[in-house]
Amino acid sequence: MSNEKKADFSGVSAKVDTTAEKVEKADFSGVTAKVDTTAEKVGSPEQTYTVQKGDTLSHISKQFYGKASKWNAIFEANRDQLDDPDRIKPGQVLKIPAEES
- 39, pLDDT greater than 80: no
**Structural domain boundaries of the chain?**
52-96
Read off the pLDDT of residues 70-99 as tens digits, 9 standing for 90 and up: 999 999 999 999 999 999 999 999 999 988
- Helix H, strand E, coil C: the string for 17-86 is CCCCCCCCCCCCCCCCCCCCCHHHHHCCCCEEEECCCCCCHHHHHHHHHCCHHHHHHHHHHCCCCCCCCC
What is the reported pLDDT for 8?
80
| Sign of the Cα pseudo-torsion (46, 52, 57, 63, in order) | negative
Q: Quote the CA–CA distance of 101 and 98 in Å, as a whole number.
A: 9
Q: Please report, rounded to a whole number, the percentage of residues in the chain having pLDDT higher than 90.
A: 50
> pLDDT higher for 83 or 16?
83
Q: Into which CATH architecture does domain 52-96 fall?
A: Roll (3.10)
> pLDDT higher for 101 or 92?
92
Q: Quote the CA–CA distance of 37 and 22 in Å, as a whole number.
A: 41
Mean pLDDT of 48-61: 96
- 41, pLDDT greater than 60: no
Q: Angle at Cα 90 formed by Cα 84 and Cα 92, nearest 5°?
A: 70
Read off the pLDDT of residues 56-77 as tens digits, 9 standing for 90 and up: 999 999 999 999 999 999 999 9
